[in-house]
């Protein structure tokens, strides 16, 4: 049984290549550079990834921040009420 992607029974053509024809890679780009070259490559990759990020606008950021603060205040109030209730229950039970 096959589908558009392939199946386990019938592997793709690229998977059928014998292992002996493939070249063994020791380190790729990282193997040829020293520690400073690898560090520079790392930072270049970080900057490239950060350019792909869709940053929120100032309006979205204020909205998200407000939502988080309101949620935290509600959770603090809930935990305070539950703690107050348990405190009174323990005092009632144990004297």
Question: What integer pLDDT is reported at residue 95 of this predicted model?
Answer: 82
pLDDT in tens, 14-55: 555 555 555 655 555 555 678 899 999 999 999 999 999 999
Distance CA 66, CA 3 (A): 48
Q: How far apart are CA 55 and CA 2, in angstroms?
A: 42
Closest by Cα among 95, 73, 76 to 84: 76
Q: What percentage of the chain has pLDDT greater than the value 90?
A: 62
Domain-wise residue ranges, the chain: 56-94
CA separation for the pair 71, 74 (Å, rounded): 5
Model confidence at 7, pLDDT cuts 50, 70, 90, reads low
Contacts of 1 (CB under 8 A, 6+ apart): 7, 9
| pTM attached to this predicted model | 0.50
């Amino acid at each position: 049984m096959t589908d558009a992607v392939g199946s386990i029974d019938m592997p793709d053509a690229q998977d059928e290549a014998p292992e002996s024809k493939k070249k063994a890679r020791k380190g790729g780009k990282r193997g040829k550079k020293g520690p400073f070259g690898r560090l520079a490559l790392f930072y270049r990759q970080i900057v490239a990834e950060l350019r792909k990020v869709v940053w929120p606008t100032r309006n979205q950021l204020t909205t998200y921040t407000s939502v988080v603060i309101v949620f935290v205040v509600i959770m603090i109030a809930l935990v305070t009420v539950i703690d107050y209730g348990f405190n009174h229950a323990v005092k009632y039970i144990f004297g």
